[in-house]
């Protein structure tokens, strides 16, 4: 029976709601987020309310979505198929799906990629199978598995804790606390369970996760590492395999799953899981819930993904990466190396403010100067603080970076 409201302790949704300030509502009300745009060209957007702005909001770090090859592929698909083909991928699918998965496989040295509609659906479809030992490439001890979710891992994984807890205990650890992972691994080891560790690769707000170090720590326990590298895909590696893959030695090591995004630097839409063998692919195809009981990536975007994957394989993406990293270096120099992530091979930079109020003032000053950023508040950053998040792109011009740095300087 449900307990009366006053005596039961709040569930996690209630706690989160009650601890969240009205900062996001206020940012909307003051026109500092939720911008409606009517057109865009590169990093310039036309605002519905009038005027143009320079944006540091989109996570398209290489600007591929306006590439003529992607646009032509989507237009051609529209003409040949219409806007959509309504079927789960196991029933009937356009030829683009296997072309995409083959090209992704080429990007990843022959490891197998399975495309999903989003990164969130990769998590939802794959993690229960991983924890159950259903994927042949990822054996689980007879005692079962235990999930260890890093504190800053993306919310799309955190939200699954309840679901994962039905398969094995699901606990959090904190990489900012040096002993936390080792302690958690020892505790899991004592139960005879196989640890499954969930982390980001390139953090969506800050930092690069030491995926190689975590994998080494996991080895003695026979554990598996699941990396959500949504922000890392395309931005590193000769074929754009991404941060985590390169940090793990330019291959998919045993016991590692990489979940990637096709919707950020990749230039298209969707997500994918990278696994070692066809045997794993067959299990995913048969049992990953969103693949069995859901649609494929929408057709024009699926065709655009194929075109984007070709640009990864043929080296064009590597040239765009150079521009991105040059821009990151320039922005770091212009901001005196003071921003969150300065010097890191991450396309995300953040100006941290000790109070929400100061972050509001900075976002307003930037907007006034025609520059749009993402203002972030709790639970994305520590309670009471604020962050102005800049997503850098290969398409930003030096003058764009100079302008943003100058306005930001005036707010400090
Ligand atoms: C690190 C990370 N993982 C997952 C997601 C969710 O991606 P999707 O919208 O494809 O589910 C995001 C979204 O921005 C993200 O930043």
pLDDT tens per residue, range 114-133 = 999 999 999 999 999 999 99
Whether residues 328 and 214 fall in one domain = no
Q: Give the chain's domain count.
A: 2
Compute the distance between CA of residue 34 and CA of residue 200 in angstroms, rounded to an integer. Answer: 25
Q: Taking the CA atoms of the chain, what radius of gyration do you get in angstroms?
A: 22
Q: Is the CB of 312 under 6 A from ligand 1?
A: no
Contact 125, 156 (CB under 8 A): no
Residue of 119, 234, 270, 272 to test ligand 1 pocket, by largest number of atoms within 8 Å of CB? 119
CA of 271 to the centre of ligand 1 (A): 9
Residue to probe by mutation, ligand 1, list 116, 125, 152, 230, most atoms within 8 Å of CB: 230
Distance of CA 409 to the CA centre of its chain: 29
Could you tell me the distance, in angstroms and rounded to a whole number, from the CA of residue 189 to the centre of ligand 1? 31
Mean pLDDT in runs of 10 for the chain (412 residues)?
69 86 90 95 96 97 97 98 93 95 98 98 98 98 98 95 97 95 98 98 90 98 98 98 98 98 98 98 97 95 98 97 98 97 97 95 96 91 92 98 96 82
Regarding whether 77 and 220 lie in a shared domain, the answer is yes
Q: 195: exposed, middle or buried (C-beta count within 10 Å: 0-12, 13-18, 19+)?
A: buried
153, 270: one domain: yes
Q: Do 271 and 232 have their domain in common?
A: yes
- Let me know whether 182 and 277 are in one domain: yes
Residue 198 lies in a domain: yes
Which atom of ligand 1 is nearest the CA belonging to 262? 10
φ/ψ (deg, to 5) at 324:
-60, -50
89 is a domain residue: yes
Query: Do 266 and 334 belong together in one domain?
Result: no
Task: Please indicate, yes or no, whether residues 307 and 327 belong to a single structural domain of this protein.
Answer: no
Confidence at residue 3, expressed as pLDDT on a 0 to 100 scale = 54
CA atoms lying within 13 Å on the CB side of residue 62: 28
Task: Indicate if ligand 1 lies below 6 Å from the C-beta of 204.
Answer: yes
pLDDT per position as a tens digit, 359-378: 999 999 999 999 999 999 98
Q: For residues 55 and 395, is the Cβ–Cβ distance under 8 A? A: no
Q: Is 228 in the pocket of ligand 1 (CB under 6 A)?
A: yes
CA 59 to ligand 1: nearest atom = 14
- Position 395 in a domain: yes
CATH number, position 342: 3.90.1150.10
Mutate which of 57, 261, 272 for ligand 1? The one with the most ligand atoms within 8 Å of its CB, which is: 261
Is position 56 within any domain?
no
What is the reported pLDDT for 412? 77
What's the pLDDT at 217? 97
Co-location of 290 and 381 in the same domain: no
16 in any annotated domain = no
Per the domain annotation, does 80 fall within a domain?
yes
Q: Do 402 and 48 contact (CB within 8 A), yes or no?
A: no
CA-263 nearest atom, ligand 1: 10
Q: Does residue 157 lie within any of the structural domains?
A: yes
We report the CATH number of the domain holding residue 127 as 3.40.640.10
In terms of residue numbers, what domain contains 397? Answer: 316-353+366-410
Minimum CA distance residue for ligand 1 atom 16:
204
Kindly state whether residues 304 and 393 are assigned to the same domain: no
Instruction: Examine the domain organization and report whether 197 and 343 are in the same domain.
Output: no
């Amino acid at each position: 029976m449900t307990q009366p409201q006053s005596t039961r302790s709040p569930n996690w949704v209630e706690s989160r709601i009650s601890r969240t300030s009205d900062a996001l509502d206020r940012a909307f009300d003051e026109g500092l987020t939720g911008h409606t745009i009517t057109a865009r060209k590169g990093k310039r957007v036309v605002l519905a309310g009038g005027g143009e702005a320079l944006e540091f909001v989109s996570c398209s770090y290489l600007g591929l979505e306006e590439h003529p090859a992607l646009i032509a592929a989507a237009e051609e698909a529209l003409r040949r198929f219409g806007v959509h083909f309504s079927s789960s991928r196991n029933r009937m699918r356009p030829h683009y799906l296997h072309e995409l998965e083959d090209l992704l496989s080429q990007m990843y040295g022959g490891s197998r990629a399975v495309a999903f509609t989003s990164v969130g659906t990769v998590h939802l479809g794959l993690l229960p199978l991983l924890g159950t030992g259903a994927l042949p490439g990822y054996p689980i001890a007879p005692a079962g598995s235990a999930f260890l979710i890093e504190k800053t891992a993306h919310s799309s994984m955190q939200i699954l804790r309840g679901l994962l807890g039905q398969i094995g205990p699901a606990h959090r650890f904190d990489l900012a606390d040096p002993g936390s992972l080792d302690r958690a691994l020892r505790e899991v080891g004592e139960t005879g369970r196989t640890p499954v560790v969930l982390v980001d690769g390139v953090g969506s707000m800050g930092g690069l996760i030491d995926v190689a170090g975590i994998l080494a720590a996991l080895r003695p326990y026979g554990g598996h590492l699941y990396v959500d590298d949504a922000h890392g895909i395309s931005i590193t590696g000769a074929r754009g395999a991404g941060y985590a893959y390169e940090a793990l030695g330019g291959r998919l090591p045993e016991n590692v799953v990489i979940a990637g995004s096709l919707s950020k630097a990749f230039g298209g839409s969707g997500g994918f899981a990278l696994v070692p063998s066809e045997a794993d692919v067959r299990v995913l195809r048969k049992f990953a819930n969103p693949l069995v009981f859901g649609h494929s990536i929408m057709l024009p975007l699926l065709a655009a993904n194929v075109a984007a994957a070709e640009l990864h394989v043929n080296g064009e993406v590597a040239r765009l990466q150079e521009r991105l990293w040059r821009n990151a270096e320039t922005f770091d120099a212009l901001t005196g190396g003071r921003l969150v992530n300065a010097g890191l091979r991450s396309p995300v930079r953040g100006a941290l403010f000790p109070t929400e109020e100061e972050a509001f003032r900075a976002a307003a000053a930037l907007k006034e100067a025609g520059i749009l950023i993402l203002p972030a508040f709790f639970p994305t950053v520590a309670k009471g603080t604020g962050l102005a998040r800049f997503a850098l792109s290969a398409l930003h011009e030096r003058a764009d970076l100079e302008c943003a740095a100058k306005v930001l300087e005036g707010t400090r």
